[in-house]
Amino acid sequence: MKHQAIREQLLETVVKANEVGLIRLSAGNISVRTSKNLAAITPTGVKYRQMKVDDISIVDLDGHLIDGLAPSSETPMHTAIYRDLPEVGGICHTHSSYAITFSMLEEEIPPANLELFACGAPIPVAPWACTGTQKIGEVTVEIFKSRPDLKVVLLDKHGLVAIGRDLDHAYEMALNAEVGLRTYHQALVVGKPQSLTDDQLEEIKAAYSK
């Protein structure tokens, strides 16, 4: 089978993401760049708990199927990001609870904790674009291009998209974002969360750079 190792790695990430509730049933999708012009991506309509290695789709960056089952309906967003952001090696798109919750408010998320900071907060909500369209790729790419440190964007009334230099990095960013948003929500329920100050942000950057 072509791209065996990378498909196995992608399926492992799918299992992990399913276990922690980042993806469920067939909602959300994950991909990894396999070469300059190819990517492996979760197939459409297959429940994550039942997915097998050879189900994983291999597509070119125009979205044409090379091998495996028919790719995710959200492939156009993934391929747009890989085409326009050559440093991106992995993408994790989730319909996770807190990402959906905050995407509905259409308000930027401040760097209120270390998890959100790690994602490059403030985290913006992309302008509305329907799932499965080219437009959702365009609005997402535009934001990531204008904010080189940003790793996570919320998709309006939909979820989040996390990018990384490789698959593990993208997965970590998606998980950080969901944990950061869940705890931010909890703080909003019990009080008024304070964003990290500029001085605190500088301290954290210095600590992480060591």
| Residues tagged active-site | 74
Cα radius of gyration (the chain) = 17
Q: How far apart are CA 113 and CA 138, in angstroms?
A: 29
Site string for Zn ion, 102-141 (x = CB under 5 A): -----------------------------x----------
Nearer to Zn ion, 80 or 112 (CB): 80
Q: What's at 197, amino acid-wise?
A: T
**Pairwise CA distance, residues 166 & 137, whole Å:** 19
> Which residue, 131 or 133, is less far from Zn ion as judged by CB?
131
Minimum distance of Zn ion from residue 189's CB (angstroms) = 26
**Nearest in space to 157 (alpha carbons), one of 180, 175, 177, 131:** 131
Q: Smallest distance from the beta carbon of 38 to Zn ion, in angstroms?
A: 22
At closest approach, how far in Å is the CB of 193 from Zn ion?
A: 27
Query: Which CB atom, from 81 or from 196, has the smaller least distance to Zn ion?
Result: 81
- Identity of the residue, 11 or 154, whose beta carbon is nearer to Zn ion in the bound complex: 154
Is residue 77 within 8 A of residue 85, CB to CB? The reply is no
Number of residues that bind Zn ion (CB under 5 A): 1
Minimal distance, residue 150 CB to Zn ion, in Å: 19
Of the two residues 1 and 25, which places its CB atom closer to Zn ion in the complex?
Answer: 25
Contact positions toward Zn ion, by CB under 5 A? Answer: 131
